[in-house]
Amino acid sequence: GAVVSQHPSRVICKSGTSVKIECRSLDFQATTMFWYRQFPKQSLMLMATSNEGSKATYEQGVEKDKFLINHASLTLSTLTVTSAHPEDSSFYICSAHMRTNEKLFFGSGTQLSVL
Amino acid sequence: GENVEQHPSTLSVQEGDSAVIKCTYSDSASNYFPWYKQELGKRPQLIIDIRSNVGEKKDQRIAVTLNKTAKHFSLHITETQPEDSAVYFCAASTGNRDDKIIFGKGTRLHILP
Protein backbone atom coordinates (compact mmCIF):
# COMPACT_ATOMS: atom_id res chain seq x y z
CA GLY A 1 0.00 0.00 0.00
CA ALA A 2 0.89 3.68 -0.15
CA VAL A 3 3.52 4.92 2.30
CA VAL A 4 3.65 8.23 4.09
CA SER A 5 6.87 8.95 5.92
CA GLN A 6 6.94 11.41 8.82
CA HIS A 7 10.05 12.66 10.58
CA PRO A 8 11.15 13.03 13.26
CA SER A 9 9.23 10.47 15.31
CA ARG A 10 10.10 12.15 18.58
CA VAL A 11 11.33 15.61 19.52
CA ILE A 12 12.26 17.01 22.89
CA CYS A 13 13.03 20.72 22.86
CA LYS A 14 13.33 23.71 25.09
CA SER A 15 10.58 26.29 25.32
CA GLY A 16 11.01 29.01 22.71
CA THR A 17 12.63 26.91 20.03
CA SER A 18 11.07 26.05 16.68
CA VAL A 19 10.50 22.51 15.51
CA LYS A 20 10.04 21.34 11.92
CA ILE A 21 8.17 18.15 11.08
CA GLU A 22 8.31 16.64 7.60
CA CYS A 23 5.68 14.56 5.89
CA ARG A 24 6.51 12.78 2.65
CA SER A 25 4.45 10.59 0.37
CA LEU A 26 7.02 8.06 -0.78
CA ASP A 27 5.35 6.29 -3.68
CA PHE A 28 2.51 8.53 -4.77
CA GLN A 29 1.70 12.15 -5.46
CA ALA A 30 -0.36 13.94 -2.85
CA THR A 31 -1.98 17.17 -3.89
CA THR A 32 -3.48 17.50 -0.44
CA MET A 33 -1.96 16.73 2.92
CA PHE A 34 -3.55 17.18 6.30
CA TRP A 35 -2.03 17.90 9.68
CA TYR A 36 -3.61 16.64 12.89
CA ARG A 37 -2.95 16.95 16.55
CA GLN A 38 -3.79 14.16 18.96
CA PHE A 39 -3.87 14.38 22.73
CA PRO A 40 -3.58 11.18 24.79
CA LYS A 41 -6.63 8.96 24.44
CA GLN A 42 -8.37 11.49 22.23
CA SER A 43 -9.35 11.71 18.61
CA LEU A 44 -7.46 13.24 15.72
CA MET A 45 -8.07 16.99 15.60
CA LEU A 46 -7.59 18.48 12.18
CA MET A 47 -5.30 21.50 12.33
CA ALA A 48 -4.91 22.46 8.70
CA THR A 49 -5.22 21.36 5.10
CA SER A 50 -2.11 21.73 3.00
CA ASN A 51 -2.43 22.08 -0.77
CA GLU A 52 0.60 21.88 -3.03
CA GLY A 53 1.60 25.28 -4.30
CA SER A 54 -0.89 27.30 -2.28
CA LYS A 55 -1.41 28.56 1.24
CA ALA A 56 -2.66 26.14 3.85
CA THR A 57 -6.20 26.35 5.16
CA TYR A 58 -6.32 26.40 8.93
CA GLU A 59 -9.12 25.18 11.16
CA GLN A 60 -10.79 27.56 13.53
CA GLY A 61 -8.71 28.17 16.62
CA VAL A 62 -5.40 27.12 15.04
CA GLU A 63 -2.87 29.94 14.84
CA LYS A 64 -1.33 30.07 11.40
CA ASP A 65 1.65 32.07 12.62
CA LYS A 66 2.27 29.47 15.28
CA PHE A 67 1.96 26.43 13.06
CA LEU A 68 3.62 27.21 9.73
CA ILE A 69 2.79 24.83 6.93
CA ASN A 70 4.61 24.58 3.63
CA HIS A 71 3.64 22.23 0.82
CA ALA A 72 6.33 22.90 -1.74
CA SER A 73 5.97 19.75 -3.82
CA LEU A 74 3.55 16.93 -4.55
CA THR A 75 5.39 14.70 -2.12
CA LEU A 76 6.42 16.94 0.77
CA SER A 77 4.64 19.04 3.36
CA THR A 78 6.25 20.51 6.46
CA LEU A 79 4.80 21.74 9.73
CA THR A 80 6.90 24.13 11.79
CA VAL A 81 5.88 24.76 15.37
CA THR A 82 7.33 28.19 16.05
CA SER A 83 8.46 29.31 19.48
CA ALA A 84 7.19 26.11 21.02
CA HIS A 85 5.78 26.13 24.54
CA PRO A 86 4.86 23.27 26.88
CA GLU A 87 1.20 23.51 25.87
CA ASP A 88 2.27 22.64 22.31
CA SER A 89 3.41 19.23 23.53
CA SER A 90 1.34 16.69 21.67
CA PHE A 91 1.33 13.96 19.07
CA TYR A 92 1.27 15.44 15.56
CA ILE A 93 0.24 13.28 12.60
CA CYS A 94 0.13 14.08 8.91
CA SER A 95 -1.91 12.34 6.25
CA ALA A 96 -1.95 12.46 2.48
CA HIS A 97 -4.62 11.93 -0.15
CA MET A 98 -3.59 9.78 -3.08
CA ARG A 99 -4.05 11.84 -6.21
CA THR A 100 -5.90 9.01 -7.96
CA ASN A 101 -8.48 8.35 -5.27
CA GLU A 102 -9.68 9.75 -2.00
CA LYS A 103 -8.05 7.24 0.31
CA LEU A 104 -6.09 8.77 3.12
CA PHE A 105 -2.78 7.46 4.37
CA PHE A 106 -1.18 8.52 7.62
CA GLY A 107 2.36 9.26 8.66
CA SER A 108 3.73 7.54 11.76
CA GLY A 109 3.37 10.65 13.88
CA THR A 110 5.71 12.93 15.82
CA GLN A 111 5.66 13.10 19.59
CA LEU A 112 6.64 16.63 20.56
CA SER A 113 7.66 17.34 24.12
CA VAL A 114 8.44 20.94 25.02
CA LEU A 115 10.28 21.44 28.29
CA GLY B 1 -19.69 21.83 8.76
CA GLU B 2 -19.65 18.12 9.27
CA ASN B 3 -19.96 16.67 12.77
CA VAL B 4 -19.34 13.00 13.50
CA GLU B 5 -20.55 11.37 16.70
CA GLN B 6 -19.20 7.97 17.73
CA HIS B 7 -20.40 5.52 20.37
CA PRO B 8 -19.46 3.91 22.62
CA SER B 9 -16.24 5.53 23.79
CA THR B 10 -15.12 2.26 25.37
CA LEU B 11 -16.17 -1.28 24.56
CA SER B 12 -15.14 -4.53 26.20
CA VAL B 13 -15.96 -7.74 24.40
CA GLN B 14 -15.23 -11.36 25.22
CA GLU B 15 -12.85 -12.97 22.75
CA GLY B 16 -14.84 -14.66 20.03
CA ASP B 17 -17.87 -12.43 20.44
CA SER B 18 -18.87 -9.61 18.09
CA ALA B 19 -18.23 -5.89 18.54
CA VAL B 20 -20.32 -3.08 17.09
CA ILE B 21 -19.35 0.57 16.93
CA LYS B 22 -21.83 3.18 15.75
CA CYS B 23 -21.41 6.62 14.22
CA THR B 24 -23.71 9.36 13.06
CA TYR B 25 -22.93 12.29 10.80
CA SER B 26 -24.62 15.59 10.12
CA ASP B 27 -23.73 16.67 6.57
CA SER B 28 -25.97 15.03 4.00
CA ALA B 29 -23.33 15.82 1.35
CA SER B 30 -20.93 13.32 2.93
CA ASN B 31 -20.65 10.18 0.87
CA TYR B 32 -17.40 8.55 1.94
CA PHE B 33 -17.06 6.83 5.31
CA PRO B 34 -13.74 5.26 6.25
CA TRP B 35 -12.87 3.43 9.45
CA TYR B 36 -9.42 3.53 11.00
CA LYS B 37 -7.74 1.35 13.60
CA GLN B 38 -5.05 2.88 15.76
CA GLU B 39 -2.86 0.85 18.04
CA LEU B 40 -1.12 2.56 20.90
CA GLY B 41 1.54 4.99 19.68
CA LYS B 42 1.06 4.07 16.04
CA ARG B 43 -0.48 5.67 13.02
CA PRO B 44 -4.14 5.12 12.17
CA GLN B 45 -4.62 2.41 9.56
CA LEU B 46 -7.53 2.29 7.16
CA ILE B 47 -9.36 -1.00 7.75
CA ILE B 48 -12.49 -0.57 5.65
CA ASP B 49 -14.45 2.15 3.92
CA ILE B 50 -17.87 2.53 2.36
CA ARG B 51 -19.43 4.93 -0.08
CA SER B 52 -22.98 6.19 -0.11
CA ASN B 53 -23.99 4.11 -3.10
CA VAL B 54 -23.43 0.95 -1.08
CA GLY B 55 -25.41 -0.12 2.00
CA GLU B 56 -23.02 -2.74 3.31
CA LYS B 57 -19.48 -3.88 2.73
CA LYS B 58 -17.66 -6.84 4.19
CA ASP B 59 -14.02 -7.83 4.40
CA GLN B 60 -13.46 -11.12 6.24
CA ARG B 61 -14.38 -10.49 9.90
CA ILE B 62 -15.05 -6.80 9.40
CA ALA B 63 -18.21 -5.29 7.96
CA VAL B 64 -19.58 -1.79 7.69
CA THR B 65 -23.20 -0.77 7.18
CA LEU B 66 -24.51 2.59 6.08
CA ASN B 67 -27.96 4.10 6.45
CA LYS B 68 -27.86 7.32 4.48
CA THR B 69 -31.42 8.29 5.32
CA ALA B 70 -30.73 8.15 9.03
CA LYS B 71 -27.16 9.40 8.57
CA HIS B 72 -25.55 6.64 10.52
CA PHE B 73 -23.00 3.94 9.83
CA SER B 74 -21.63 1.11 11.89
CA LEU B 75 -18.57 -1.12 12.14
CA HIS B 76 -19.07 -4.78 12.93
CA ILE B 77 -16.22 -7.07 13.97
CA THR B 78 -17.10 -10.74 14.30
CA GLU B 79 -15.15 -13.52 16.05
CA THR B 80 -13.03 -10.95 17.84
CA GLN B 81 -9.40 -11.74 18.58
CA PRO B 82 -6.86 -10.21 21.00
CA GLU B 83 -5.19 -8.33 18.15
CA ASP B 84 -8.45 -6.47 17.54
CA SER B 85 -7.80 -4.50 20.74
CA ALA B 86 -7.18 -0.91 19.62
CA VAL B 87 -8.88 2.44 19.18
CA TYR B 88 -11.22 2.64 16.23
CA PHE B 89 -12.18 5.91 14.54
CA CYS B 90 -15.02 6.45 12.14
CA ALA B 91 -14.88 9.36 9.73
CA ALA B 92 -16.95 11.14 7.11
CA SER B 93 -16.09 13.12 4.01
CA THR B 94 -17.60 14.28 0.76
CA GLY B 95 -15.02 12.12 -0.95
CA ASN B 96 -13.44 14.85 -3.01
CA ARG B 97 -9.70 14.57 -2.76
CA ASP B 98 -9.25 18.06 -1.36
CA ASP B 99 -11.98 17.76 1.24
CA LYS B 100 -11.09 17.16 4.82
CA ILE B 101 -12.12 14.04 6.60
CA ILE B 102 -13.85 14.59 9.93
CA PHE B 103 -13.22 11.99 12.62
CA GLY B 104 -15.33 10.68 15.43
CA LYS B 105 -13.85 10.72 18.93
CA GLY B 106 -12.87 7.08 18.81
CA THR B 107 -13.82 3.84 20.53
CA ARG B 108 -11.34 1.99 22.68
CA LEU B 109 -12.01 -1.71 22.10
CA HIS B 110 -10.78 -4.22 24.67
CA ILE B 111 -10.90 -7.90 23.81
CA LEU B 112 -11.16 -9.90 27.01
CA PRO B 113 -9.53 -13.35 27.23
**pLDDT tens figures, B4-60:** 999 999 999 999 999 999 999 999 989 889 999 998 878 899 999 998 888 999 999
**Chain B residues whose beta carbon lies within 8 Å of the beta carbon of residue A109:** 41-43
* Most A-contacting residue of B90, B101, B102 (CB-CB within 10 A), to test interface: B101
**Chain A residues whose beta carbon lies within 8 Å of the beta carbon of residue B87:** 41
pLDDT above 90: residue B102: no
Q: How far is CA A67 from CA A51, B24, B54, B60, B78, in A?
A: 15, 31, 39, 41, 42
Instruction: Find the residue in B nearest to A10 (Cα).
Output: B41
**Chain A residues whose beta carbon lies within 8 Å of the beta carbon of residue B44:** 44, 93, 106
SS3 B11: strand
In this structure, are residues A58 and A65 in contact, taking their beta carbons and an 8 Å threshold?
no
Q: A32 and B98 in contact by Cβ < 8 A?
A: yes
**pLDDT tens figures, A66-84:** 999 998 888 999 999 999 9
Confidence of residue A99 (pLDDT cuts 50, 70, 90): low
| Closest of A45, A28, A27 to residue A36, by C-alpha | A45
pLDDT cut 70: percent of chain A above it = 96
